[in-house]
Amino acid sequence: MAKAQLLLVLYLSAFALFDVSSATRKHVKLYEIKKGDFSVKITNWGATVVSAILPDSKGNLADVVLGFDSVSPYYNVSTYFGALVGRVANRIGGGKFVLDGKVYQIFQNEGQNTLHGGHRGFSKVIWTASEHRTGGDYPSITFTYHSFDGEQGFPGDVDVSVTYTITGDHELSISMLAKPLNKPTPINLASHTYWNLGGHNSGTILSNTIQIFGSKVTPVDDSLIPTGEIVPVKGTAYDFLKPASIGSRIGQIKPGYDINYVLDASAVDTLGVRKVSVLRDEKSGRQMELWTNMPGVQFYTSNMLKDVVGKGGHVYGEYDGLCLETQGYPDSVNHPNFPAQIVRPGQVYNHYMRYKFSF
């Protein structure tokens, strides 16, 4: 299958650790997809990206994803390292919304608000692994999950899948699909991977250069809930329309970046997927280019990361990684002027993202 055809299919379609649930006999396992010197490991606990190993400009390999050596910290730490978050990623103000005239109260796990789907969102469940392809031109792994009616307060049964595919020598694609079965419901999935192109244990990302193709942001209140405004970034510390180091202006944003960018419609490829950002680490020479079909991206500089013991005993701290979470706008269910996130039976939620790495 030609690469362009494969990407179109992904865009449009749908070391075992231990036995976690003896009742369901589901096991948490680690899966690898690999091509040449590029390998990615994902666990079915939260469909979580555990590692991504890449060469630098000199051919030296390093793991550029923050995470843990074993599965137990993923259960207990609220960093969302590498997780697939939902049913609704990001925040919902007051933990409630109105849909077709009915008020839904969902689980409030961040004060009075809901974050990443509640206390037991998609990042805190065991997914079912299927179609693990380890050979060929396009190694991949697919995970599925059935979200039941009323889970964390959300209406309706929903079938969800996510497929991770190596679509090039150093290219990773993620395709997320969700199908409501019997009720309309909000859906907004996101991949919450923390990246550090210098290596997961290389220190802060403040010297990294980033370009974000979003000329507006959705401002937030003190609880990080959008106000409903959409404002331009020009002339502000949020302006990364031209490449700039993250540390050059982070001091103007206390405690750091945690904001949704409204992505511009420019820089669209032949599949209708738009360029999100370009991130570069000069020391290693690694560069990451991100593309998506979503209207927004959350830029987060791990401001709340404090003394977390990760891989190899390395202690992760503030600014040691960054997230670029392609998504619908946060709290869209409570802001009619934001792109809608309601998906009805017969419709399919389709979220596609593609990382291109170079050196």
> Which of 116, 325, 335, 351 is an active site residue?
325
Residues comprising the binding site for beta-D-galactose?
90-91, 192-194, 258
SS (H, E, C) the chain: CCHHHHHHHHHHCCCCCEEEECCCCEEECEEEEEECCEEEEEECECCEEEEEEEECCCCCEEECECCCCCCHHHHHCCCCCCEEECCECCEEHHHEEEECCEEEECCCCECCEEECCCCCCHHHCECEEEEEECCCCCCEEEEEEEECCCHHHCCCCEEEEEEEEEEECCEEEEEEEEEECCCCEECECEEECCECCCCCCCCCCCCCEEEECEEEEECECCCCCECCCCEECCCCCCCCCCCEEHHHCHHHCCCCCEEEEEECCCCECCCCCEEEEEEECCCCCCEEEEEECCCEEEEECCCCCCCEECHHHCEECCCCCEEEEEECCCCHHHCCCCCCCEECCCCCEEEEEEEEEEC
Nearest of 291, 286, 214 to residue 257 by alpha carbon? 214
Task: Decide: 243 and 278 in contact? Cβ < 8 Å.
Answer: yes
To the query of whether residue 110 is one of the catalytic residues in this protein, the response is no
> Which of 151, 170, 171, 192 is an active site residue?
192
To the query of whether residue 192 is one of the catalytic residues in this protein, the response is yes
Residues comprising the binding site?
90-91, 192-194, 258
Annotated catalytic sites, by residue?
Answer: 192, 325
